Amino acid sequence: MAFKHIEGNQRAKRILKLALERGRLPNSLLFAGPQGVGKMRTALTLAKALNCLRPGADSCDECDSCRAIDGGRFPDVMVIDVKDEKKAVAIEQIRLLRQMAYLRPMSGKRRVFIIDDAEDMSTPAANSLLKVLEEPPPVSHIILLAASPFLLLSTIRSRCRTLSFTAMTDEEVERALRDDGRREDQARILALLAGGNLRRAMELDWEEVQARKEGSWLLFEALLSKDRSSLFLDRFGSLPKAALEEFGQTLELFSSFARDILLVKLGGDPRLLLNPDLEERLRTASARCPVPRLLAALAEFDLVLAELPRNLNKNLLAAALFSNIGEYRNV
């Protein structure tokens, strides 16, 4: 995947491309940011761009070098996954890195070492790496990927040029999913549920998502009805920790249902529905929901969604949502 095909994180990509064009890419880089937002993808693209046989500051994805790097069989690009390896292996790999970093590349132009989950390095491994960073090898680039960069030794951090990676927007995740061959209607909902994390979006199973949608729809209808609304509290009033993500995803779905009903009510283009598979039910529900009530419910969902990452007491949030929606229940 070339830079021009990677969605999101425009700023980081721009800095890297500019450095490549000027031939002034720092030897030590730290990509800092949450899981699943494209740090590894960007690091591999950088490795390809550095070794691509065609001119330009991007990877062509077609030459022998680019293809070998994509296939994980390029001797000058090494990916070290600290989390997956036993710590002892990680130390050995860092020692190997230390020996190889100063040698001329075998077949490429530049050696690139990518260290995933770098903050999980053991102290001996980190100290060994520090030695390399203190005397940067002229022909090698070392890229550290870390979700929690503050856990790295400050001496390591200070020797790396740090680039911040942030969660992708829903639109960026959706585009990336479509580029990956997902159907448009699936991509839209998956992006919504993944919270800016492309990897999570790619890992979501469509059948499970549909089952969750089904369950969420029943809860949504219950929440807005007078006699069955307590179903919602039964489900989310006392949440175990493991269900927190589910609560967020359920609210995302609630919000998508409410937006769809609004679209139906206002006579919008059905192709814009987030849940085209539920069109029939959305139409039935729209007959019962006055617009002001929908708008108020939508505002409540979005408010709780915004509050969710900050507020530790999700059960309280669920209860507050339940009581605030209460004013708008009719049927």
| Residues forming the site for Zn ion (CB under 5 A) | 52, 60, 63, 66
Least Å from the CB of residue 71 to Zn ion:
13
Which lies closer to Zn ion via its Cβ, residue 25 or residue 278? 25
Q: How many residues does the chain have?
A: 331
Closer residue to Zn ion (CB): 66 or 285: 66
Task: Name the token pair of 329.
Answer: 């229940």
- b/e string for 255-278 if b means 16 or more Cβ within 10 A? bbbbbbbbbbbeeeeeeebbbeeb
Q: Which is nearer to Zn ion, 66 or 173 (CB)?
A: 66
CB of 318 to Zn ion, least distance (A): 51
Alpha carbon distance 318, 198 (integer Å): 27
Contact (Cβ atoms closer than 8 angstroms) between residue 69 and residue 77 = yes
Amino acid at 272: L
In the complex with Zn ion, which residue's Cβ is closer, 58 or 260?
58
For residue 198, the minimal CB distance to Zn ion (Å) is 23
39, 200 in Cβ contact below 8 A?
Answer: no
d(CA 314, CA 236): 8
Minimum CB separation of residue 22 from Zn ion in Å reads 20
Comparing CB distances to Zn ion, the nearer of 70 and 185 is: 70
Rg (CA), the chain: 24
Pair of tokens at residue 202 = 């790619």
Asked if 295 contacts 262 with a C-beta cutoff of 8 angstroms, the reply is yes
Query: What angle (nearest 5°) sits at the alpha carbon of residue 189, between those of residues 4 and 301?
Result: 115
In angstroms, the CA 306 to CA 35 distance is 20
Three-state SS at 253: helix
- Considering the complex, state which of residue 74 and residue 257 has its C-beta at the smaller distance from Zn ion: 74
Q: Closest Cα partner for 162 from 33, 24, 8?
A: 33
Kindly tell me which of 60 and 243 has the beta carbon lying closer to Zn ion: 60
**Considering the complex, what minimum distance in angstroms separates the CB of residue 23 from Zn ion?**
17
Joined together, the tokens standing for residue 178 give 């479509």
Phi and psi, residue 79, nearest 5°: -105, 125
Shortest spacing between CB 29 and Zn ion, in angstroms: 20
Minimum Å gap between C-beta 263 and Zn ion is 44
CB count in 10 Å sphere of residue 316: 11
- For the chain, how many helices (H) and strands (E)? 15, 5
Choice between 6 and 317, CB closer to Zn ion? 6
- How far is it, in rounded angstroms, from Cα 117 to Cα 120? 6
Q: Closest approach of Cβ 6 to Zn ion, in Å? A: 15
CB of 51: closest distance to Zn ion in angstroms?
Answer: 8
- 20 or 30: CB nearest Zn ion: 20
